[in-house]
Chain A
Amino acid sequence: MEIETEDLGNGSLVRVSGEVDMSNSPTVRDSLMNLIAGKTPAIVVDLGRVIYMDSSGIATLVEGLQETTSYGGKFRIAGLTEKVKQVFELARLTDVFDIYPDAEQAKEGL
């Protein structure tokens, strides 16, 4: 799993790649909580290169969403790969998250 954060000026883009599971979801959490601590107005999480995500990874995103919403910030998810998208659809997570086809589209209108 790799993670990098990019400043968008009006928010931040968090690019995650690889497999997100119990062993590394705390790293993703640290990155998100860092941005949340600074009340970043918008966070876009690009999952375009995530090939697998377990429930601990999803919980991390849920927490990110809950925390961002609590101060009126935006939390968007972009670029679900086919397998991750399937999990999101089956579990109706599509009802929970603001999901965009890719990071470029997610950045629009921030």
Chain B
Amino acid sequence: MPAASLNSPESSPEGAPQTSLPESVAAAENAAVELGDLRTRVANLSRLIDVTVLVSSSLNLQEVMNRVMAMAKEMMDAEAASIMLWNGELECLEFEMTVGEVGVDSLKTIRIEKGQGIAGTVAESGEPMLVADVTKDDRFDSKADEATGFVTKSILAAPLIVHDGIVGVSEVLNHKAGRPFTNHDLELFATFCRQVAVAVENARLHEKEMKQSLLDQQMKMAAEIQRSFLPAELPDDEAKRFEVSAFTRSTQDVGGDLYACEVLPDGRIGLALGDVSGKGVPAALYMARVVSEFRMMCSKGDPPSEVLTALNAALARGKMRGMFVTFVYGILDPATGELELANAGQLPPVLARASGSAQWMGSASGPPLGMIPTTVYQPEKIKLEPFDTLLYYSDGIVEAQDTSGEQYDPHLLADVSEAGTGARRVLSHVLESVEAFSRGASQADDMTLVSISWEGGG
């Protein structure tokens, strides 16, 4: 530890030899000066130790900077001190904190590039710098003085360096005694700044981590909230006249696929699937809006084509950055097997016949919802045979790729036709087939499957 050298015999007053009186006075004076100097140096070193302690005592960036700047000003006996941090995106230094007569607010707009002024020169070279008299140094840039009204006379500037480069530059301005700063001051300040750099970097990393973990936490909450917009449970018919099944999986915490299943006032079953354009938070928010408006609009039991026409008009109002949702909505009457569908830009559902065949049904009668406010959607009706199943799927299903980049698309009809009967069986068979097909390849899109089967009039 460097402090040990300060206690060496030659600089210790107790080590002074016996001499005559005048010599003794001179020696005593010298000793007093040396003692004073020694005290200052010990005090300074103990401040350095304080900074070292500070490195591990606080992880709040503002607090760390506040404390170290106050300490720098006091230790260097300076009129003012400042800290500038390196902004990697804008590639410049920005004032973060000042102590002394000037506030940092007036300096916030000042950006210093590498090589510009004293701080910029230090940021470029990575070496501390002493400017005893700024009037004699061309590199001095008076921009900050002009902004604050402060008159800089003498500067100590030192880089804040951590292992992977410069994180900032710190300066102290004007010695309070009116004298210029010295090389001795510079050495002390540079040592001090090495500790400050570690403290600042630790606090910065901590802040970044906190922000990230807050973001992660919020995304998890958003995902939970989004799940609450999907049916908590599907209707289960005691009379066994119909069966409903659903599956959804997002590639991100929050997704853009949605489905809904509503028991209408007259006992018919409404079933919908939608796929919102884009992904992530915007898609999730739009999805929540679509589900809310849909549930409100379908609650009276209006025909699917009318519900989609109204839902489209509502969604197309206002600027939504071109966002849209492909949407299919069908109503099954469990008493008769009558099924009525309307499709807005969604891929055509698959009808699995009890006889073991499968066919497309209800292709889009208009574009996705939210594009053009005046679109009118057309209905498509069919009478189901007992044990027929209708399957909705999002494009993440048909666009699922295998390891060679081929899409699942061409296999869907065949897989449905061999699935057997019943909403659950058809859905799980298709899901297993898609998963087997795309095993080992990464899933690019959200996957949703919804199915309903009519088991006869009961």
The prevalent SS among residues of A at the interface is: helix
What's the Cα separation between A110 and B368 when bound, in Å?
28
What chain A residues lie within 8 Å of B277 (beta carbons)?
Answer: 55-56, 58-59
What's the Cα separation between A56 and B276 when bound, in Å?
9
* Interface residue stretch chosen among A5-13, A90-98, A99-107: A90-98
**B322 touching A93, Cβ below 8 Å:** no
What chain B residues lie within 8 Å of A90 (beta carbons)?
Answer: 345, 347-348, 363-364
What chain B residues lie within 8 Å of A60 (beta carbons)?
Answer: 322
What's the Cα separation between A90 and B375 when bound, in Å?
16
Q: Which of B256, B323, B367 contacts A92 (CB 8 A)?
A: B367
Q: Which of B279, B324, B326, B395 contacts A62 (CB 8 A)?
A: B324
Does A3 belong to the interface (CB within 8 Å)?
no
**A59 touching B322, Cβ below 8 Å:** yes
**A22 touching B278, Cβ below 8 Å:** yes
Q: Which of B276, B321, B368 contacts A63 (CB 8 A)?
A: B321
Q: Hey, what's the 0/1 contact readout for A30-66 against B, CB within 8 Å counting as 1?
A: 0000000000000000000000000110111111111
Q: Hey, what's the 0/1 contact readout for B380-395 against A, CB within 8 Å counting as 1?
A: 0000000000000001
What chain A residues lie within 8 Å of B346 (beta carbons)?
Answer: 91
**B324 touching A59, Cβ below 8 Å:** yes
What chain B residues lie within 8 Å of A22 (beta carbons)?
Answer: 278-279
Number of A interface residues in the complex (CB < 8 A):
18
- A92 and B366 in contact (CB under 8 A), knowing A60-B322, A62-B324, A63-B322? yes
- The chain B residue sitting closest to A62, CB to CB, is B322
Does B275 belong to the interface (CB within 8 Å)?
yes
Rounded to whole Å, the gap between the CB of B393 and the closest CB of chain A is 13
Rounded to whole Å, the gap between the CB of A93 and the closest CB of chain B is 6
Rounded to whole Å, the gap between the CB of B319 and the closest CB of chain A is 8
What chain B residues lie within 8 Å of A66 (beta carbons)?
Answer: 319, 322, 371
Rounded to whole Å, the gap between the CB of A54 and the closest CB of chain B is 8
- The chain A residue sitting closest to B377, CB to CB, is A92
What's the Cα separation between A61 and B372 when bound, in Å?
13
The 8 closest A-B pairs by CB, nearest first: A63-B322, A62-B322, A55-B277, A91-B345, A59-B322, A59-B277, A56-B278, A92-B364
Interface pairs (25), CB distance under 8 Å: A22-B279, A55-B276, A55-B278, A55-B326, A56-B277, A59-B277, A59-B322, A59-B324, A60-B322, A61-B322, A62-B371, A66-B322, A66-B371, A90-B348, A90-B364, A91-B326, A91-B346, A91-B368, A92-B345, A92-B364, A92-B366, A93-B345, A93-B368, A96-B371, A96-B372
Residue ranges of A at the interface with B (Cβ–Cβ < 8 Å): 22, 55-56, 58-66, 90-93, 95-96
Residue ranges of B at the interface with A (Cβ–Cβ < 8 Å): 256, 275-279, 319, 321-324, 326, 344-348, 363-368, 371-372, 375, 395
